[in-house]
Amino acid sequence: MFTHDDFATIVPVLIVVLAACAALIAEATRRAGDRMPAGIFGLIGLGGAAFTSIMQWGRHLTGFKVIVADDFALFVNLILCAVGILTILLSWGTAERDQLPEGEYHSLMLFSLAGMMLMGSTRDLLVIFIALEIMSLGVYVLTGIKRASEQGAEAAFKYFVLGAFSSAFFLYGIALAYAATGTTKLDEIGLAVAQSVAHPDLLLVMAMLLLLVGFAFKVSAVPFHMWTPDAYQGAPTLVTGFMSTGVKAAAFAAFLRVFLSAFEPMRADWIPILAVVAGLTMIIGTVVGVAQTNVKRMLAYSSIAHAGYLLVGLVAASNAGVAAILFYLAAYAVTNLGAFGVIAALSSNDRPHDEIRDFAGLWHERPAMAGLLTVFLLSLGGFPPTVGFIGKWYIFNAAVQAGFTKLAIIGVLTSVVSVFFYLRVVVMMYMTDDKAPGDRPRTPWVVATGLGLALVVVFYLGVQPAQILTFARHSVESIF
Per-residue pLDDT tens digits for 186-207 = 989 988 888 877 677 888 889 9
Q: What is this structure's pTM?
A: 0.94
As a whole number, mean pLDDT of residues 123-143 equals 92
Q: How many CA atoms lie within 13 A of 51 on its CB side?
A: 8
pLDDT attached to residue 65: 83
Can you give the pLDDT at residue 104? 86
Residue 479 has pLDDT above 80, yes or no: no
pLDDT at residue 32, rounded to an integer? 61
Cα(first)–Cα(last) distance of the chain, in Å? 30
Per the omega criterion (within 30 degrees of 0), is the bond before 223 cis? Answer: yes
Q: Is the pLDDT of residue 437 over 60?
A: no
Q: Is the Cβ–Cβ distance between 250 and 326 less than 8 Å?
A: no
pLDDT at 85: 94
58-67, 69-78, 331-340, 436-445, range with the lowest pLDDT: 436-445
**Hey, which residues does 61 pair with through a beta bridge?**
69
pLDDT of residue 202: 86
Read off the pLDDT of residues 316-347 as tens digits, 9 standing for 90 and up.
888 888 899 999 999 999 999 999 999 988 88
Ramachandran assignment for 60, one of left (phi > 0), alpha (psi -120 to 50 degrees), beta (any other) = left
Q: What's residue 66's pLDDT? A: 87
Under the banding of pLDDT at 50, 70 and 90, the label for residue 378 is very high
CB 217 within 8 A of CB 160: no
- What's the whole-number mean pLDDT along residues 150-164? 88
Q: What is the pLDDT of residue 412?
A: 93
Q: Whole-angstrom Cα distance, residue 414 to residue 408?
A: 10
Q: Which residue did the predictor score with more confidence, 112 or 353?
A: 112
Q: Please provide the average confidence, as pLDDT, over all residues in the chain.
A: 88
- Of residues 234, 252, 238, 268, the one with CA closest to residue 116: 252
pLDDT in the model for residue 35: 65
